[in-house]
Structure formats: C-alpha cells, structure tokens
Amino acid sequence: MSALTLTPRALYEEVAEQLRQRIFRRELEPGSWIDELKIAEEFGISRTPLREALKVLAAEGLVTMKVRRGAYVTEMSEKDLRDVYHLLSLLESDAAAVVAATASPTQLRELEALHAELEGAAGERERFFAINERFHMRLLEMADNRWRSQMVADLRKVMKLNRHNSLLKQGRIEDSLAEHRAVMAALARRDGAGTAQAMQAHFAQGLEAAT
C-alpha cells in the first residue's frame, strides 16, 4: 500500500486531521479499536507522530485511550449527547445575545447571506450540514470570545460522533430552517433575550430529534 501524501504542516497535526475526517465519515466507527500499526504503515510514518495525533483527538473527545488496550473511537451515550447539547445551548445562546446587541449592519447582512444559503441548500443534506456549521461558527466569531469559540468547536466535533444525527430525521431540516428564521428575526430586532431564547429552542428541538 502506498503512503499518503501529507502536507508540510506538523506531521502529527496532519495525521490527526486525516483520522478526524475518517471518524466523521464513519470509516472508523464509534467503539472501534484504532490499529496503530496498520495506520502507521498506511500513512508511511512511525508510530510516534501517530501517537501524538491520537493524543490530540483524545483531548477533543473523539478518541478514548484505554490502559493496555490502546485507542478507541469514542462512543456517545444518550447522557453524553444530552450533556453536549446542554452546553452548546448555553454557549451559543449567550453568543447569539451578544451578537444581537453588538453586530454591525455589515455583520448582520453576512449572517442573512449565510441563512439564505442555508435556505437554498434544504434539499442537499451534506451542503446543508456544512453551511449550518459555518453559520453557527461565524456567529461565535462575531461574539468575539475565543475561549467560547474553542469550547463550541470542540463540542461540535464530539457531537458528530452521534450515530443518529438529528438532521437525518424526516422533516428535521425544514424544522431547523424554521428555528433559524426565528433566530434571524430576533437578531434583526436587536432583541438579545429573544435571540438567546430562539437559539435555545433550536438546540432543544435538535436534541429531541437526535435522541
């Protein structure tokens, strides 16, 4: 098997990203053992950068290290999922309230443009996923708290471990769009409390669909 071509950035970071994407694509299933020897051979690397990469993924919650048993892709219990949604709801509703109060007209137009893209992608699941995440992360950036943004980014990675993604359920994309419209309407009114409530409702409905 030929070695993968890796980009010039730190080798372990590139390996971590390759493994992260395999986990998200379910090529490495939740609960599965990560065969270090096989992956190191496939990537054409030693086990040292691979182990550094696994430490990164363990810190993100995507991989669980078990004593004398190696690394496993993390499995999400229903409690894990509820805990992640709870924290995301708190953090993102807080950010949304900040944006309602502080965003410039240009920033609001940018969010409106992202929302319009989201509306246009309703029939394309993968594109909808990608734009939805861009919308949420851009809102976080506008709220301008890098610690909150980092926490949300890590929690969103863990959320992708859920086998039954809420957006896969029949009708969920349409409901999600309606919830996004409520967020956008509250933002347009500069209603901080209303925007936070709309974002909390969005996560509550997402959790209900995911469990």
Q: Mean pLDDT in runs of 10 for the chain (211 residues)? A: 58 93 92 95 93 94 92 93 96 98 98 97 89 96 97 92 68 92 98 98 92 80
One fold for both 11-73 and 78-210?
no
Q: 200 Cβ partners below 8 Å, 6+ apart?
A: 89, 93
Residue 151, helix vs strand vs coil: helix
Q: What CATH number labels 78-210?
A: 1.20.120.530
- Residue among 44, 41, 43 nearest 17 (CA): 43
> Kind of pairing, strands 63-66 and 70-73?
antiparallel
Cβ count within 10 A of residue 175: 17
Domain chopping of the chain, boundaries: 11-73, 78-210
Please tell me what DSSP assigns to residue 6.
Answer: -
Q: Which fold has domain 11-73?
A: Arc Repressor Mutant, subunit A (1.10.10)
CA angle 75, 20, 2 (to 5 degrees): 125
* Type of residue at 54: L
pLDDT of 52 reads 94
Q: What angle do CA 174, 179, 185 make, to 5 degrees?
A: 125
Q: CA torsion, points 87, 90, 96, 100, in degrees to nearest 10?
A: -170
Strands (DSSP E) contained in the chain are: 63-66, 70-73
Q: Contact 111/187 with Cβ under 8 angstroms?
A: yes
Q: Please tell me the predicted confidence (pLDDT) of residue 171.
A: 82
Cβ-based burial of 143 (10 A; exposed 0-12, middle 13-18, buried ≥19): buried
